[in-house]
Structure 1
Amino acid sequence: MKITKSFVDKVELPPLDENGKQAQVFYRDEALRGFALRVTSGGSKSFIVEKRIDGKVKRKTLGKYGQITAEQARKLAQNFLGEVAFGRNPIAEKNDKKAKNITLEQSFNDYIRARKDLKASTEKEYRRQLNSSFGDWKNKPLVSISKNMVEKRHSELGAKGEANANGAMRVLRAIFNHAINKYEDSNGQPIIQINPVARLSHNRAWYPTKRRQTIIRPHELNAWYKATLQLNQPVTRAYLHFVLLTGLRLTEAAQLRWQDVDIKGLSFTIPDTKNNRPHTLPITEAIYDTLKILKANKRNEWVFPSPLHDSHLKEPRTAVKRVCDLSGIKFTIHDLRRTFITIAESLDISAYALKRLLNHKDPNDVTAGYIISDIERLREPMDRISTTICKHLNSVNV
C-alpha cells in the first residue's frame, strides 16, 4: 500500500496483546522503501523511516500523525534516505550534536543520579556550589567551559574565600570526570576529552589548605564545663557534653535516635556516618548519666530533640557563642572532637583502637582488615578517655 492521508485515517488499531498490554503494527510504504506507519492499540499513529547503516538497521521517528501530514512525513523520509545514500548517518550526527550540547546543569544532575552513595547533606552542598559559584555557567555546554575560564573563576572565587573556591572547583572537577566517562560520540570516543580543572593542579594554583588545629586545652575544660551548666537548654548542654565524651562529628551525634541506643548493653550505634560505615561505641559511666537524664525527658525519637520543631537538634550556634562568652574560651563543635582525639592520644591508646573509636577508615591499611575490634575491646580505652576528660572537667558525673 501507499501511505496517504486516506490510508492513515482508515487504518484500524491493533488489539491489545494476550497480556492486556499495548501492541503495535507497522505498515510499510510500497513506493518509498524504508518509509512506514506505526500504529499502536493505544491510538497512536506515527511515521517512521528505517535504513541499514553500518550493518545495523536504524529507525527514526519522523513525527506523529496530526502533528505532521503523510506528505510531510514522506518528504522527511526522502531527505533522510538521501543523506544516508551519500554516506552520512543522520541519527549518529543528531546524537553527537545532542551530546556536545550537554549543559553543566544536565551533567551535574546525571552525576548526582549516578552517585548512589551520596549523602543528602553532600548533595545539598554540591547544589549550593553549582548555584552560587557557577550559576551563570549552568546552561553552558560542557565543551564550551575552557581551562582559562576555570582558572579565572577560581581566582575570582578565591578573592572572596579561598576554601570556598577550592571546594567549588572540586565539585566542578567531579562533574567533568563523570562526563568524560559517560558521554561518547557515535564512534565511542569521549565527547569531553580533558578536565579543564586540571589546569589548577598543573599551575599549582590551588589555595593551600589551612587545617584547623584548635582544641580546648585540658586546663580550660573546667571553665568550659561550668559555662555549659549555665545554658538554659538542658538538651543542648547534654549535646555538648556528649560530643566531647564520644568524639563524634556534629551531625552524627545530633541525629542519634533512641532506637540505636542500647542502655542495657551499654552501647549505641550511629548507622549513617561520613564514611557510610555504621559506628558503634560503648557507653561509659559519664555518657550513661547523660543519656539517663535525656531518656527521662524523652519527647520523640531523637536523643537530642530540637526545641523548635519535631526533629533533631541542629548546630547550636547560639549556645556555643554563649559558652564562649561565659568562659572566655573560643571553640567550635568540631573542636570538641579534636579535644577528644588529643586526650586519647595522650593516653597512648593503640592506633587501631583509636581509629575504631573515631570511625576512621584507611583503604590503604590492609593490616587493619585482619584486626577485629568489637565493642567490648573498645570499652576499656573508652573508659580511660572518659575518666580523664571528667577529671579535667572536675566532675565525675557530667
Structure 2
Amino acid sequence: MPEKMHFTKSNLLALESVPGKRRRVYDEKQKGLAVYVTPAGSNTFYCIKKVDGKTEEIRIGDAATVTLEIARAKAADIVNDIARGINPAEQKRIKKAEMTFAALFSEWVKHCTIREKKSLGKDQDSFRLHLQGLARKKLSEIQRTDIRNLHANLSEKSGKIQANRVLALVRAMFNFAIQKLDVPRLKNPAKGIEPNRENSRDRRLHPDEMPRFFEALAAEESPDMRDFVMLSLLTGARRSNVLGMHWNEIHLERGTWTIPAIKAKGKEDITVPLTNAAIEVLQARADATGAQGWVFPGPSRTGHFVEPRKGWARLLERAGIEDLHIHDLRRTLASFQIDAGISLAVIGKGLGHHSQQTTAIYARLAQNPVADAWQKGTDAILVAGGIKKPAEVVPMKKGRKHA
C-alpha cells in the first residue's frame, strides 16, 4: 500500500530518508500530491496520476522553495487538466524535445546552402552578432514582444536598415520552420511587425571630404583595415566580396579581379578592373604574404577578416565624417566616374549590376572601356584626396608584375 499522511510543514520536515532509495509519501488532503524523499534527505513535490493507463509523474518543485499551499494548488490544477484531457507530462516532454532557435538556424543554413542563397553569409553574421539572445530559447517560447523589442533595440544601436534585415531573417526562419519543417502548433512571432521605413540612400564621399578621409586612412594602425577600405574604394566592390577576396581570383599581370558567380549577387562572374592604385595595394600584400589563400586572412570561422565595424567607426571619428557607410564607398566610385563622363552601362558592368534592361548592353561591352572607366574614377578620387596631382595621373600600366 502507498504510504500516506496529512501533509503539514512540520510533518514534511520530520520525514526520514531511506538508505539507498527514494521514499514516496502521498498527501491525504490533496489527491495526486506526493513528496519524494531522497537518501540525502531532500524533499520534492510531485503530482502523480494515471493517464490513459500510464502513471505520469509531474514535478512541482523542491519543498525547500515551494510552500505546501502552492504545491496543493498546483497539484489541483494538474488533476483538473488531466480530467479535461490535457496531459501536462506529455506537454513537458514535447517542450523538452522542441527545437531551439539555434537548432532552427542550423537547419536554415543547410537549406540555404543547398539552394545556394547568396546572402547566407549575411544571415550568419546577423545570427552571430544580433540573435544570440534567442539562440537557446525553444521556438514556442519566443514571443512577439521579444521580436518587437529586438527590432526596436537594433534600430537604435545598429541602424534602421540592419534592424529590418534581422527582422526579415527571423520572419523567414519561422516561416521555414512552419512550412518546410512542419513544426506543430508554431506561430510566427515576427509576422505583422512593421519594419522601419527605408529611404533611398545617396550618400557618397564628396570631394571636400576626400583629404580628411585619406589623412585618417593613412593614420590607421591596422594594415588590414587600411587596405580593406582602400580596395573597397578603388574597386567599388561589395563589402562581402572584398572581405572574401582570394588570391586565386586575382590576376595582377592582367589587372583583373574575377569575382566568381557563387559569390556574386547577380549569380554571374564579375570582372573588376584593378587600377594602378589597387594593384599597388595588392602587390604590397602579395609581397608580404606570398599571395596564398585569402587576401585578408583572419581568425574567424570563415578564415578571413569579417567585421570591420570598429575600425570603420574609428576611421570616421578620426576624419570627422558622419553618416558614411562602407557601402557608400561603392557609390563614391560610381559618382566620380559619372562626374568624369563615363556611361552608366560601362559603370554597371564593372560594378556587377544585373537587370533585364541593361544586361544586353553589358554583354556587348568590351573590358577595355570598363578598365579605363575605373582608372579615370580612381584617379579622380586620388586627386580629390590630395594623394595625386592632376599632372601625375597616367594611363593604366601594361605588363604588370604577377603575384
TM-score with structure 2 setting the length: 0.57
Is 1:282 equivalent to 2:273 in the alignment? Answer: yes
Count of matched residue pairs: 286
Partner of 1:328: 320
Correspondence list, 1:339-350, <5 A = 339-350=332-343
**Candidates 249, 267, 276, aligned match of 2:238:** 249
Q: Deviations over 1:136-191 (max 9, x none)?
A: 7x3244xx87xxx42x334322442333653343123212332443256xxxxx96
Partner of 1:123: 124
Change (3 A) 1:238 1:360: same
313-322 vs 280-289, which deviates more? 313-322
Correspondence list, 1:1-398, <5 A = 103=99, 105=101, 107-116=104-113, 117-118=116-117, 119-126=120-127, 129-132=130-133, 134-135=134-135, 138-141=137-140, 149-150=143-144, 152-162=145-155, 163=160, 165-183=163-181, 197-200=190-193, 205-209=194-198, 213-271=202-260, 273=263, 275=265, 276-299=267-290, 301=292, 304-305=295-296, 312-316=304-308, 320=312, 323-330=315-322, 331-362=324-355, 365=356, 368-369=359-360, 371-372=362-363, 373-394=365-386, 395=388, 396=392
Asked if 1 retains the 8 angstrom alpha-carbon contact of 2:346 and 2:362, the reply is no
Partner of 2:53: none
- Letter aligned with residue 284 of structure 1: T
- Consecutive unaligned residues of structure 1, counting only runs of 5 or more, are 1-96, 185-189
Partner of 1:52: none
Asked if 2 retains the 8 angstrom alpha-carbon contact of 1:245 and 1:340, the reply is yes
- Consecutive unaligned residues of structure 2, counting only runs of 5 or more, are 1-92, 395-403
SS of the residue corresponding to residue 269 of structure 1 reads strand
Give 1:245 shift.
1.1
Change (3 A) 1:283 1:197: same
SS of the residue corresponding to residue 160 of structure 1 reads helix
State percent identity of aligned pairs.
21
Give 1:281 shift.
1.0
Report the Cα distance in structure 2 between the residues aligned to 1:176 and 1:252, rounded to whole angstroms: 29
SS of the residue corresponding to residue 153 of structure 2 reads coil
Report the Cα distance in structure 2 between the residues aligned to 1:233 and 1:245, rounded to whole angstroms: 18
Change (3 A) 1:102 1:111: farther
Give 1:237 shift.
3.2
Asked if 1 retains the 8 angstrom alpha-carbon contact of 2:243 and 2:305, the reply is yes
Change (3 A) 1:180 1:348: farther
Give 1:218 shift.
0.9
SS of the residue corresponding to residue 341 of structure 1 reads helix
Partner of 2:66: none
SS of the residue corresponding to residue 289 of structure 2 reads coil
Give 1:246 shift.
0.9
Give 1:267 shift.
0.8
- Letter aligned with residue 273 of structure 1: K
Give 1:302 shift.
5.1
Change (3 A) 1:112 1:329: closer
Give 1:217 shift.
1.0
How much is the aligned-residue C-alpha RMSD, in angstroms?
Answer: 4.2
Change (3 A) 1:131 1:307: closer
Change (3 A) 1:387 1:227: same
SS of the residue corresponding to residue 214 of structure 1 reads coil
Change (3 A) 1:293 1:171: closer
- Letter aligned with residue 283 of structure 1: L
Asked if 2 retains the 8 angstrom alpha-carbon contact of 1:302 and 1:312, the reply is no
Report the Cα distance in structure 2 between the residues aligned to 1:108 and 1:323, rounded to whole angstroms: 34
Asked if 1 retains the 8 angstrom alpha-carbon contact of 2:213 and 2:319, the reply is yes
TM-score with structure 1 setting the length: 0.58
SS of the residue corresponding to residue 207 of structure 1 reads coil
Partner of 1:94: none
Change (3 A) 1:198 1:266: same
- Letter aligned with residue 381 of structure 2: I
SS of the residue corresponding to residue 361 of structure 1 reads coil
